[in-house]
Amino acid sequence: MMTYKAVLFDLDGTLLDSIEDMGDSLNRVLVDNGFPTHNRDAYCRFVGDGATNLISRALPEDKRADTIIRSCLDAFLEDYDKNWNVKTKLYDGVPELLDALTSRGLKISVLSNKPHRYTLKCMEGFLSDWNFDVVFGQRDDVPRKPDPAGALEIAEQLNILPSDFLYLGDTETDLKTSFAAGMFPVGVLWGFRSAEELRKNGATVLINRPLEALALLD
């Protein structure tokens, strides 16, 4: 059994059930612009690759001009800034997992494609009870996931080899990131995507509940 020294988490869909607040904010923007809205299941497919891609996917195909995407993105971020914590919550079992990892002395970190400012806001609002060693959202000067740059930066800051990380995420993007960074990928099934998608993209381990991750450490 491999001995891991750190766990890197995705944020939305892995630690936080945040899909309704994101969807509600974007739906209000779509209504304001006369575009069709979407349900929760659709937003579960749209998220994962950054805010700009989220906006593009939610817009009608013939309305995806850069100017429209930028205008809707600005409006979305303005709305989300006021409504990021209305329905968002930690997934069941996440506090217990974080407590267990902390008690074992493992380093814990977060890498998200959510804009960095909002990643920090969500961390402060929902995860301040735990001492995360490094937290990165999407930053303008760093390629977003699935590019491994952010994950490798975390490994370097912690002075821990990438191969000593478990990487927990809920999307194809997370799996690709973990493989590219040389971390051990763990697909979580309580998030935004299906077991089929995770298996198709190389997940060798899938877990149904957060505490199941501890079995990979024993």
- Please tell me the predicted confidence (pLDDT) of residue 201: 87
The per-residue pLDDT for range 162-201, each reduced to its tens digit, is: 999 999 999 999 999 999 999 999 999 999 999 999 999 8
Q: What are phi and psi of 67, to 5 degrees?
A: -65, -40
Distance set, CA 138 to CA 51, 66, 120, 133 (Å): 9, 19, 11, 17
Q: Mean pLDDT throughout 153-159?
A: 98
Residues linked to residue 107 through DSSP beta bridges, in sequence order: 6
Distance CA 195, CA 187 (A): 8
**pLDDT above 80: residue 97:** yes
The residue type at 157: Q
- Please tell me the predicted confidence (pLDDT) of residue 202: 82
Q: How far is CA 105 from the centre of its chain?
A: 23
Cβ atoms of 111 and 8 within 8 Å: the answer is yes
**Tokens 């195909």 map to which residue?**
61
**pLDDT above 70: residue 10:** yes
Distance CA 1, CA 213 (A): 13
- Please tell me the predicted confidence (pLDDT) of residue 1: 55
The per-residue pLDDT for range 68-94, each reduced to its tens digit, is: 999 999 999 999 999 999 999 999 999
**pLDDT above 60: residue 58:** yes
DSSP reduced 3-state for 54? helix
Residues 6+ apart with CB under 8 A from 153: 136, 142
- Please tell me the predicted confidence (pLDDT) of residue 2: 67
**Tokens 């821990």 map to which residue?**
160
- Please tell me the predicted confidence (pLDDT) of residue 218: 79
